Amino acid sequence: MADTVYLNGVFLPLAQATIPVLDRGFMFGDGVYEVIPVYNGQAFRLDEHIQRLQASLAAVRIRNPLTTVAWRAMLLQLIAENKALQDQSLYLQVTRGVAPRDQAFPPESVAPTVFAMSMALQTPSTALVQSGVAAITALDIRWDRCNIKAISLLANVLLRQQAVDEAVAETIMLREGWLTEGSSTNVFVVAQDKLLAPPKSQHMLTGVTYDVILELAASHGIAHLVAPVSEAQLRSADEIWITSSTKEILAIISLDGQRVGQGQPGPLFQRMYALYQDFKNQYMRHTR
Ligand code: PMP
């Protein structure tokens, strides 16, 4: 982890960044967050991440403490402060602030707590991209507002630990027989040469990476369909992919111990992985 973080208007060393124990993030998980990848000093899809942050804040009725311009400026400064890191993963959190412990909203005068830090971005190794990874399924035990990127992640923590306990990379969730997403990823399926993705809904987070993948499919003539994906479609898929800002795209080659397709990353995965890397490199050249 790099040293300089941002807390409530000030850049300071991580070791000096402290918050009161009555912060509602600590008491109730009452806050929202973002994770933004930075390649070679360039934030990837920064505006989209800021927009999603603003949507999360509005959904939970936390006052947006900064303007779009100020969010941008703060994050760009954080990147610059941590430029010793080649690629970075920015973590940004806003809570409803510090107030006596009561579930109801505090008075308007209570300022949200804003924290941001930079960590080394660790995208999957080439070996992992080439081999693919295993996943398990589980019932989606989360709430009905999964489109909000909330810091209250207890269900995700338990689901992710299930994957760790079974020595696999991800837990893929099913709600009433329909695919939602992974504990920290979106999920795509390939069947009969067509890419399938569950539609945006309150049962999944709209990943910034999810949008990029669908844009790439559209602009490169890859047959795709955004529609609910059933458990049967998931289990009989030729390919399954997981996507996120830090994992980019990874192929799932085994699901609940059953081989997916040929048991190796499939041809459409290889194509999309290459398109994604090209797009990323191009984007970084254009925004420089
Ligand atoms: N779903 C969940 C539950 C997540 O936590 C994440 C990662 N933040 C994603 C999907 C992927 O989102 P993104 O592509 O914006 O990283």
The DSSP line for 227-281 is S--BHHHHHT-SEEEEEETTTEEEEEEEETTEEPTTSS--HHHHHHHHHHHHHHH
Average pLDDT, the chain: 97
What pLDDT shows up at residue 269?
Answer: 98
Let me know: does 62 contact 94? Beta carbons within 8 Å: yes
Average pLDDT value for residue range 139-160:
98
Write the DSSP symbol of residue 123.
P
Residue 130 pLDDT grade (very low, low, confident, very high; cuts 50, 70, 90): very high
Let me know: does 148 contact 59? Beta carbons within 8 Å: yes
What pLDDT shows up at residue 192?
Answer: 96
What pLDDT shows up at residue 288?
Answer: 46
Say if ligand 1 is within 6 A of residue 185 CB: yes
What pLDDT shows up at residue 86?
Answer: 86
* Sequence-ordered alpha helix ranges (H) in the chain: 24-28, 46-60, 68-81, 126-131, 154-165, 208-219, 231-235, 267-287
Say if ligand 1 is within 6 A of residue 123 CB: no
The pLDDT tens digits for 183-235 are: 999 999 999 999 999 999 999 999 999 999 999 999 999 999 999 999 999 99
- Distance (Å) of CA 157 to CA 59, 164, 182: 22, 10, 12
Residue 284 pLDDT grade (very low, low, confident, very high; cuts 50, 70, 90): confident
Q: Reply yes or no on whether the pLDDT at 265 is more than 50.
A: yes
What pLDDT shows up at residue 286?
Answer: 66
Structure-block tokens of residue 42: 């360039």
Residue 1 pLDDT grade (very low, low, confident, very high; cuts 50, 70, 90): low
The pLDDT tens digits for 50-80 are: 999 999 999 999 999 999 999 999 999 999 9
Among 244, 245, 248, 250, the mutation site with the greatest number of ligand 1 atoms within 8 A of its Cβ is 244
User: Scanning the structure block, which residue is given the tokens 């809904």?
Assistant: 201
% of residues, the chain, pLDDT over 90 = 97
Q: Give the residue from 16, 21, 45, 50 showing the smallest Cα distance to 33.
A: 50
Average pLDDT value for residue range 259-284:
96
Average pLDDT value for residue range 42-47:
97
Cα 238 to Cα 193: distance, rounded to the nearest angstrom: 8
Give the Å distance between the CA of 184 and the centre of ligand 1.
Answer: 5
Among 91, 146, 245, the mutation site with the greatest number of ligand 1 atoms within 8 A of its Cβ is 245
Q: Provide the β-strand partners of residue 240.
A: 189, 252
Say if ligand 1 is within 6 A of residue 187 CB: no
Say if ligand 1 is within 6 A of residue 171 CB: no
Q: Enter the pTM of the model.
A: 0.96
What pLDDT shows up at residue 2?
Answer: 59
Give the Å distance between the CA of 109 and the centre of ligand 1.
Answer: 32
Average pLDDT value for residue range 158-172:
98
Nearest atom in ligand 1 to the alpha carbon of residue 212 is: 14
Q: Is the dihedral of CA 205, 207, 208, 214 positive or negative?
A: negative
Among 48, 184, 208, 211, the mutation site with the greatest number of ligand 1 atoms within 8 A of its Cβ is 184
Residue 224, classed as helix, strand or coil, is: strand
For the chain, the first-to-last Cα distance in angstroms comes to: 25
What pLDDT shows up at residue 7?
Answer: 98
Is residue 149 among the annotated active site residues?
yes
- Amino acid identity at 260: V
Average pLDDT value for residue range 166-190:
98
